[in-house]
Amino acid sequence: MGNVAQMKPFSGQLRENPPVKVVPIDRYRSRTLGTSDLFSLEERLAYLRQYGNHCMSFSTLQPGMHFFDIPGMGFIAYMQKWGNRLTLADPVCDVKDREVFFRELLKDGKHTTFVQISQDTAELLHDKFGYYATQFGIEINLDLEKWDLNGKKKQILRTSVNHAKKEGITIEEKCTSEGCRQLTSEWLKTRRVRNREIGFLIRPMEMEHEEGTRKFFAYLHGELIGFIFFDPIYSDNQITGYVPNISRFSNKFKPGIFYPLMIHAIEVFKQEGIPNLNLGLCPLVVDDRDLFCESGIQKKLNRLLYKHGNWIFSFKGLYFTKSRFGGTERKVFGAHRENLPTLPFLTMFRLSNLF
């Protein structure tokens, strides 16, 4: 048939008609390759296992998320509010398909902002679609094949682990979530946002789909005093790493249990041959040099918030805690239309339950 479709005359009584028009086959195809919320969960999981190598790929499965799906290619997750569409993480697709993916997504003309994306993705959105691509933080990745507890910087880790052993702390990996809700209620009372858990940027503690997650619990004399849930990071249908996405701690153990829990999990992952551990986002940790693709005013604001905004969120404390592990720092970006994306920022805060 070739690349055209021919309009055939009606097969009944013959009539004199003008010559048959030859219509390009593309006229019969959808103008957009993808659509929203098309895939089943199993179809979505197949793409996740193949291409879910971003530390937030698993978090895109959280309740309330929508998806722009392209059959044979993958999906990108988003939420909408106040006329703004905010996507989360890189598209779950092959790197070579990202430009096509963004071109199809943006065809509908909706105001779209891209949150917590890699530098390569951000620069693509700048080069091909005219977006500002501004650094909004860093992620820290540990190469578990080489990682160990040696070094001056890790003294705080060694001290914390030794103190936990001395106090009789026990750490176990379990599939259950028993006791987690009660500890979470107590933990929330110590947070700046006390009456609700953060969403969007952090997936909820309870998910419908939990395949591949790992849960480690710390006990003091039989009482639960902390836990960390790790989400899988995928590539080519293999788990290639984990990211600690949910953590809760009791203030009854004043020295803190985060480091001992993390070290225990790292040792387990190393024994299993897991190559990487991504420590997740450190927001607003940005460098002093502006890239050609960045919004200068937004980058300056990010620096000011990191320096003076710790009454809102412990930006410096989070970075200090994660930096003690060493590892490789990678820049994290947002891509935005405006030089100063005030409304998208407020939308992100609202979707994250920060107000």
Secondary structure class of 146 (helix, strand, coil): coil
Asked if residue 15 has pLDDT above 80, the reply is no
Provide the pLDDT for residue 13.
37
65 burial class (0-12, 13-18, 19+ CB within 10 angstroms)?
middle
Secondary structure class of 78 (helix, strand, coil): strand
Instruction: Describe the crossing of helices 155-166 and 258-272 by its angle, rounded to 10 degrees.
Output: 100
Length in residues, the chain: 355
Asked if residue 268 has pLDDT above 90, the reply is yes
Beta-carbon neighbour count of residue 26 at 10 Å?
A: 11
How many Å apart are CA 335 and CA 338, to the nearest integer?
Answer: 9
Q: Give residue for tokens 């407020």.
A: 346
Confidence grade of residue 14 (pLDDT, cut at 50, 70, 90):
very low
Asked if residue 146 has pLDDT above 70, the reply is yes
Average pLDDT along the chain = 88
Say whether 142-280 and 39-140+285-309+330-351 share the same fold. yes
How many Å apart are CA 160 and CA 153, to the nearest integer?
Answer: 13
The arithmetic mean of pLDDT across residues 63-70, rounded, is 96
Query: Where do runs of H (alpha helix) occur along the chain?
Result: 41-51, 98-105, 119-129, 155-166, 180-188, 258-272, 296-308, 315-323, 342-351
How many Å apart are CA 173 and CA 229, to the nearest integer?
Answer: 10
Question: Diameter of the chain by CA atoms?
Answer: 98
How many Å apart are CA 280 and CA 258, to the nearest integer?
Answer: 14
Asked if residue 25 has pLDDT above 60, the reply is no
Asked if residue 4 has pLDDT above 60, the reply is no
How many Å apart are CA 316 and CA 36, to the nearest integer?
Answer: 38
Instruction: Describe the crossing of helices 315-323 and 296-308 by its angle, rounded to 10 degrees.
Output: 80
Secondary structure class of 46 (helix, strand, coil): helix
The answer to whether 200 and 79 are in contact (CB under 8 A) is yes
H or E stretch including 115?
A: strand 112-117
Provide the pLDDT for residue 186.
84
- Nearest residue to 335 via CA among 133, 137, 136, 138: 133
Query: 303: which 2 tokens?
Result: 């620096």
Domain ranges (residues) in the chain: 39-140+285-309+330-351, 142-280
The arithmetic mean of pLDDT across residues 181-190, rounded, is 84
Across 26-35, 253-262, 268-277, the highest mean pLDDT is recorded for 268-277
Asked if residue 300 has pLDDT above 90, the reply is yes
Q: Are strands 238-249 and 276-283 parallel, antiparallel or unpaired?
A: parallel
**161-170 long-range contacts, CB within 8 A, separation 24+:** 161/259, 161/260, 161/263, 163/255, 164/218, 164/255, 164/257, 164/260, 167/220, 167/253, 167/255, 168/220, 168/221, 169/218, 169/219, 169/220, 169/225, 169/253, 169/257, 169/260, 170/218, 170/219
Which amino acid is residue 117, in one-letter code? I
Which amino acid is residue 254, in one-letter code? K
Cα 231 to Cα 26, 182, 226, 269, 311: the distances in Å are 42, 22, 17, 13, 29
How many Å apart are CA 141 and CA 145, to the nearest integer?
Answer: 12
The arithmetic mean of pLDDT across residues 14-32, rounded, is 39
Confidence grade of residue 195 (pLDDT, cut at 50, 70, 90):
low
How many Å apart are CA 134 and CA 59, to the nearest integer?
Answer: 22
Provide the pLDDT for residue 175.
87
Question: 81 forms bridges with which residues in the sheet?
Answer: 84
User: What architecture does CATH give domain 142-280?
Assistant: 3-Layer(aba) Sandwich (3.40)
Provide the pLDDT for residue 190.
75
39-140+285-309+330-351 maps to which CATH number?
3.40.630
Task: Report the alpha-carbon angle 260-266-271, nearest 5.
Answer: 130
Sign of the dihedral defined by the CA atoms of residues 119, 65, 208, 260, in that order: positive
How many Å apart are CA 207 and CA 245, to the nearest integer?
Answer: 12
Instruction: Dump pLDDT digits (tens) for 69-90.
Output: 999 999 999 999 999 999 999 9
Instruction: Dump pLDDT digits (tens) for 117-128.
Output: 999 999 999 999
Asked if residue 217 has pLDDT above 80, the reply is yes
